[in-house]
Amino acid sequence: MAVLGFSSSPIIGGNVDRMVQAVLHKTGKVTHFFNLTELTFSPCRACAHLCAKDNRCKLDDDLKHLYDRIASSEAIILGTPIYHGNMNGFMTLFLERLWAFRHLKFPLKGKPFAVVTSGGGLNPPEKAIEAVKLRMTAYRATFIGSVWFDSSILPCFNCGYGLTCKVGRLFDVYGEAGQKSMKITKEFFKRWEDSPAVVSRIDELGYKIKSFLCQIP
């Protein structure tokens, strides 16, 4: 048995990946980390007649060999960047495919899970966190807590047109005058490790999961 961490960030080694990995480490348990963007899998195909009997999806893709590990895990950490104020597509498809766990039996019933998110500027975390909770609680898993990092990192910093574009988020946040006087440097790419408040919440969440698992007989 192990605590599993799943990140849906396409930025390998980015804030979401590192936040999930940090929470995993703080649990003090055997852990395994997966970045979903490195896996190939499709949406649910609604073939309930195939997965209902044994709670195992029959689609032959990179998720196929994870179902047993998820079902037998001690806890699950789910990390997503915030896209359009919500979780991103990789996390949406992943949680959708766990629907195989919602049938006559509920392999995730009572299993603790936590959510970590990171977003820039005007993307509050509540909707993304609630979306993940909605799906996991439908599988009867137990929500432990969440951590959010307001990275303020905008896609405009990387697109190549951020300092002149009038329709991007950078223009919305800084305005034309701000764009003209701005020089995008590494300081704009904030790291959660540099935020004492987020570091503290990561520590607390890891300890909370560890304490929860210690209470399970």
Helices and strands (H and E) in the chain: how many: 8, 6
- Measured N-to-C along each axis, helices 89-97 and 126-138 cross at an angle, to the nearest 10 degrees, of 10
3-class DSSP state for residue 121?
Answer: coil
The model's pLDDT over 41-82, given as tens digits with 9 standing for 90+, comes to 999 999 999 999 999 999 999 999 999 999 999 999 999 999
**Type of residue at 11:** I
Q: Which two tokens stand for residue 177?
A: 């005058």
Q: What is the DSSP letter of 189?
A: S
What mean pLDDT do residues 90-114 have? 96
The model's pLDDT over 115-142, given as tens digits with 9 standing for 90+, comes to 999 997 667 889 999 999 999 999 999 9
**Counting Cβ atoms within 10 Å, is residue 185 exposed (0-12), middle (13-18) or buried (19+)?**
exposed
Q: pTM, whole model, 2 decimals?
A: 0.94
User: Which residues lie closer than 8 Å to 106 by C-beta, 6 or more apart?
Assistant: 139, 140
Question: What are the distances in angstroms from CA 143 to CA 92, 115, 122, 190?
Answer: 17, 8, 26, 28
Domains and CATH numbers, the chain: 3-153+193-215 (3.40.50.360), 156-189 (no CATH)
The model's pLDDT over 193-207, given as tens digits with 9 standing for 90+, comes to 999 999 999 999 999
